[in-house]
Chains A and B, each alone.
Chain A
Amino acid sequence: MSEPRIAVVSAGLGDPSSTRLLADRLRDATLSALTGHGQTAEAVDVVLRPLAQDIAAHMLTHNPSGALAAAIREVVDAEAIIAVTPTFNMSYSGLFKSFFDVIEEGQLASIPTALGATGGSARHSMVMDTAMRPMFAYLKAQVVPTGVFAASEDWGTASGLERRIARAGQELADLMVAMPRRREADPFDVESDAFVSFEQMLGHA
């Protein structure tokens, strides 16, 4: 059996980007905490910037490019998600939102998830609780209690960023072990519970 995968979604626009940096740190913290549980995982980077045009095209045509379809698969098939966005206008970036908008409803239900965001100053940190948590609650992901916001200054001061990253990583690892995601059945698989036969539709079953 292959290793469980963690999808690390980052929506930074710069290269290098502090959003990607935070995502990498959350990934490392999670992998390290998993080691404490005697487990290993494979982390897969899902960087949204190169997919920006494909995401826009998908919104217009409902037809994902090969690269976007592969990225969506990495996320919906993962055992856990780390999702990190820059803060724009008191919210996640449009690119971040658009990526999750093109994922079919219900696909993220029950996936253990850690959230992160970056911004120019700590005054933007409420994005975690006013924007990101409501969206992931709607998507029915299982979100860990600690969300990590990194302001520019946090990267150069002893602000406790490392401690928050470690805590979020620990929580995600704990959740992966204690409450792994439940897999949704395939509605095209006639043997599965998700398949609705015609008798059921007619209300006779």
Chain B
Amino acid sequence: MSSMQFGIFSVSDITEDPTTGRTPTEHERIRAWVAMAKKAEEVGLDVFAAGEHHNPPFFSSSPTTILGYIAAQTERLILSTATTLITTNDPVKIAEDFAMLQHLADGRVDLTLGRGNTGPVYPWFGKDIRDGIELAIENYALLHKLWREPVVNWQGKHRTPLTGYTSTPAPLDGVAPFVWHGSIRSPQIAEQAAYYGDGFFHNNIFWNKEHTERMVRLYRNRFAHYGHGEPEQAIVGLGGQVFMKPTEREAKERFRPFFDVAPVYGHGPSLEEFTEATPLTVGTPEQVIERTLSFRDFAGDYQRQLFLIDHAGLPLEEVLEQIEILGTEVVPVLRQEFDRVRQPGVPDAPTHAARVAAAREAGTQLGEQGRAWQEQGARSDLDTGAAIAQQAGEAR
């Protein structure tokens, strides 16, 4: 694995192809994701990241199910999310689901936590959107604990307390999946990522670089403040949105009808205006390379670059072609060019193997395949009532 990871991420929209008037079925789109992920691995990309939604026209309500299926059909690809809803999902279930996926994928798993942007999802799952930040903070504090402590006693505001709870399966090799925190505009989430020394993913695809720069700078400075290293050693991921053909004219001609009516930004600014204001690049592979390399100018040396390539009704064949171009023409050059200018001391992109090695060195590994997890559990499962009372006292 190299210093940077490149891949694709999808929101899982089911959108009519405006050039044919045909809308794919849910089944077709679900199978399309599998085809995309396999293609991504075949052409040498590193990451496939699945979005999570709980309302049409999106299909991805159950990311670990589809990622587990993809894991069984791939060998190198890292399976991730974009994003996993830390607000409305039960953190206990996130701990279980992703630990299970981590075992099945032999460690090729990380996840990106987000708050979600669909208001009604909160009440549908029994939460209040006004608690969004608070839920993200509290739920992650619990998730973090569940993956690091064999027996958890816990009490919070938004979930029923836990007494003597052991999350199963234990994380593979006693090392939790790497966590990215995704936020577009909340400084609190950059602060949260910095506090834990986790990764920060800024999905900048609809945002100007000044905004992205401000969020990433805050995260980097606070990462250093909390003692995890220099600001340059923080772990940063960015989004991107591309469509490529051999000439810029062909690319724009083919993509414009999809752009003009796309969900989110359609019927708004022109393709040219949106290209200028956001990372969107519609043109030749060379143009995409040039644009992507420029992200480093405002984000610093970073670890993960994900591209959105399958939305707005683009048919599967076209999406697979985009993945092919990314893998064969764009990413090899990006790897080489980013590595050439990369400052010394900047950490590589996180992998399970590297994290296990680091945990062994630091003595923080929790034991092989959960055996020590159980042994420690048996030892520390003593007076859970007193432990809860003590925690509640500390919280006050």
Interface residues of A (CB under 8 A from B): 56-57, 59-63, 65, 187-188, 190, 195-198, 201-204
Contacts and interface: CB of A to CB of B under 8 A. Distances in A.
A202 B196 CA distance: 13
What 6 A-B pairs are tightest by C-beta distance, nearest first? A60-B268, A198-B195, A57-B269, A57-B268, A61-B265, A201-B137
B141 interface: yes
A196 B133 CA distance: 12
B133 A65 contact: no
Contact of A202 (B141, B266, B273): B141
Interface stretch (B119-127, B184-192, B322-330): B184-192
Contacts of B266: 60
Contact of B214 (A57, A60, A188, A203): A188
Taking chain A's interface residues, is the majority helix, strand, or loop, or is none over half, making it mixed?
loop
A202 B141 CA distance: 9
A188 B266 CA distance: 31
Interface centre among A63, A65, A197 (most CB of B within 10 A): A63
Interface in B103-147: 133-134, 137, 141
Given A57-B273, A202-B141, A63 B206 contact: yes
Contacts of B137: 198, 201-202
A61 B188 contact: no
A92 to B, nearest CB: 23
A196 B268 contact: no
B278 interface: yes
30 contacts: A56-B268, A57-B268, A57-B273, A60-B264, A60-B267, A61-B268, A61-B269, A62-B206, A62-B207, A63-B269, A63-B274, A65-B273, A65-B277, A188-B214, A188-B218, A190-B218, A190-B221, A195-B187, A196-B187, A196-B188, A196-B191, A198-B191, A198-B195, A198-B226, A201-B134, A201-B188, A201-B192, A202-B137, A203-B395, A204-B394
Contacts of B65: none
A61 B192 CA distance: 26
Interface of B: 133-134, 137, 141, 187-188, 191-192, 194-195, 206-208, 214, 218, 221-222, 225-226, 264-269, 273-274, 277-278, 394-395
Contact of B265 (A60, A190, A202): A60
A201 B138 CA distance: 9
A57 B276 CA distance: 14
Contacts of A59: 268
A165 B267 CA distance: 41
Nearest to B138: A202
A190 B223 CA distance: 13
A56 B265 CA distance: 11
A61 B279 CA distance: 13
Contacts of B207: 62-63
A15 to B, nearest CB: 24
Contact of A190 (B222, B269, B277): B222
B269 A65 contact: yes
Nearest to A195: B187
A198 B192 contact: yes
B319 to A, nearest CB: 23
Given A62-B206, A63-B207, A63-B278, A188 B187 contact: yes
